[in-house]
Amino acid sequence: MLEVIFLGTGGIMPNKERNVPSIALRYEGEIILWDVGEGTLRQLNTAKLSPMRIEKIFITHFHGDHYLGLMSLIQTMTLWNREKPLHIYGPKYTFEFIQNYLKSGFFAPSFEIHVHELGEARLKFGDYEIWSFKVEHGIPALGYVFKEKDKRGNFNLEKIRELGLKPGPWMKELELKGKIEINGRTIYLEDVTGERRRGVKVVYTGDTEPCKRIELFSERADLLIYEATYLTGEERGESYHSTVSEACEVAKKAKVKLLALFHRAPRYKYDEYLQKAEQLCNHKFIVPKDFDRISFKGESYELSSIR
């Protein structure tokens, strides 16, 4: 099961109501972070997520509200005697910026930190992949896709009987090998299982103005987390951000199941932003608050909060 936990949902600067961007993906015991704005360590503690379970951090770009929480996170891992390596991914200049960052202050990590600079890449990790894609923010910046591998269907007893077979130990062997021979006949796994289940797909744009690549990488996503910093283009000006209506239009074109409007500017109160979004958006959407979470199981999802 995949859980998407919103640790910080606002943009630019933290305030009393919400923190700056960070999203935790919890999958099979592992925690992946997308962005790590200042105060993320506190948000993790509140959400009862252990920093020691974080194996990978993906930074969308190097504006302070998206990465300045990294130092306190690494120092805490060191204080807790972490030994497992930590992998940090990001756009061009990530290696240079992280090296400079780690040289500040009187401390040294107790574990290895592996830094990876990405362009548009497809990274494979066991039962899931992370894709990176370029966005438009005036500086090197990336969006990310979490894509769970498609799952095979369950064994279908009706198909098994049609082949004149009975359930038995051969099913485990077939599951491991993909095909086996029974009574001189080759049986393939797909002969006795249902349709494959599509793996969960979650997309995070980071900060960006609208661009065609977002629509392409978001196609048929279960969840699109799209920055919608401003309500209107007049308020946005020339800041390389997106508006609510632009986010909703992309979600509609990409046939996204659920849109999360993210990175709300400090000038907007939650209710004001939500009411305006309801007027502007004709796509299914949410405006998440800090510590809201979305749990995916198969093709269904559940919204809840851990506040």
The annotation status of 290 as a binding-site residue, yes or no, is no
Q: Of these residues, 35, 65, 290, 292, which one is catalytic? A: 65
Burial of 154 (0-12, 13-18, 19+ CB in 10 A): exposed
Q: Is 65 a catalytic residue?
A: yes
255: left (phi over 0), alpha (psi -120 to 50) or beta: left
Query: Is 116 among the annotated ligand-binding positions?
Result: no
Gyration radius (Cα) of the chain, Å: 22
Is 87 annotated in some ligand binding site?
no
Ramachandran class of 178: left when φ > 0, alpha when ψ lies in -120 to 50, beta otherwise: left
Tell me which amino acid residue 62 is: F
What's the rounded Cα separation, in Å, for the pair 227 and 241? 7
Contact in structure between 95 and 117 (CB atoms under 8 Å): yes
The answer on whether 114 is annotated among ligand-binding residues is no
127 Cα distance to chain centroid: 15
**Does the annotation place 283 within a ligand binding site?**
no
Query: For residue 290, which of 23, 76, 9 has the smallest C-alpha distance?
Result: 9
- Widest distance between CA atoms in the chain: 73
Residue whose C-alpha is closest to residue 150's, from 173, 128, 171, 131: 128
Where do runs of H (alpha helix) occur along 163-294? 170-177, 212-217, 233-236, 244-253, 270-280
Binding residues: 61, 63, 65-66, 137, 207, 263
Residues identified as active-site: 65
Binding residues for Zn(2+): 61, 63, 65-66, 137, 207, 263
